[in-house]
Amino acid sequence: MIVYRLVCDHEHRFEGWFQSGDDYERQRDAGAVLCPMCESKEVSRLPSAPHVQTARTPAPRNTQEEPIDLLRLLRMLQSITEDVGDRFPDEARKIHYREAPARNIRGRASLDAVGELEEEGIDVLPIPDLSKLH
């Protein structure tokens, strides 16, 4: 997973998580990378440098960016995931067992289905329904 610092044409700064640089470019070119604040599709990468934290160096603090609130975070998740709907448990298994390409997905699953996925060692994260954000 790679994290890019991004900015939209309205100067909103945010992070995007991608499988690779090619994955970022493919999603951006397809109009799938959206600003979580204004939903602009005009998004570009900001320069960034890796940071390695050691016991002697504190983590860098970014004082220019506001904390991300829950709604902005959910919109960001929506922009970097594929909605597979009710097929979520099946798609998660296919990805986990390498029967389908690795990608970020979201969808719907019962509590029983989520429990079964977790028993198989498949990490899932329950989040609110992103389709209701608009």
Can you spell out the DSSP letters for 8-65?
ETT--EEEEEESSHHHHHHHHHTT----TTT--S-EEEPP-------SSSPPP---SS
pLDDT score recorded for residue 73 = 77
Average pLDDT over residues 115-132: 82
- Looking at residue 56, what is its pLDDT? 56
- For the ranges 17-21, 29-33, 63-67, the lowest mean pLDDT is seen at 63-67
User: Which one, of 128, 121, 89, lies nearest residue 105 by Cα?
Assistant: 89
Rounded to the nearest angstrom, the gap between the alpha carbon of residue 11 and the centroid of all alpha carbons in its chain is 20
- Confidence (pLDDT) at 98: 92
Residue 52 has a pLDDT of: 45
pLDDT score at 51: 44
The two beta strands, 82-83 and 105-106, are parallel
Instruction: State the average pLDDT over residues 4-15.
Output: 88
Amino acid sitting at position 102: A
User: CB–CB of 43/33 below 8 Å?
Assistant: yes
| Structure confidence by residue, pLDDT tens digits, 35-81 | 888 889 999 988 765 544 455 555 555 444 555 567 777 778 888 88
Q: Is 26 left (phi over 0), alpha (psi -120 to 50) or beta?
A: alpha
Which residues are bridge partners to 43 per DSSP? 8
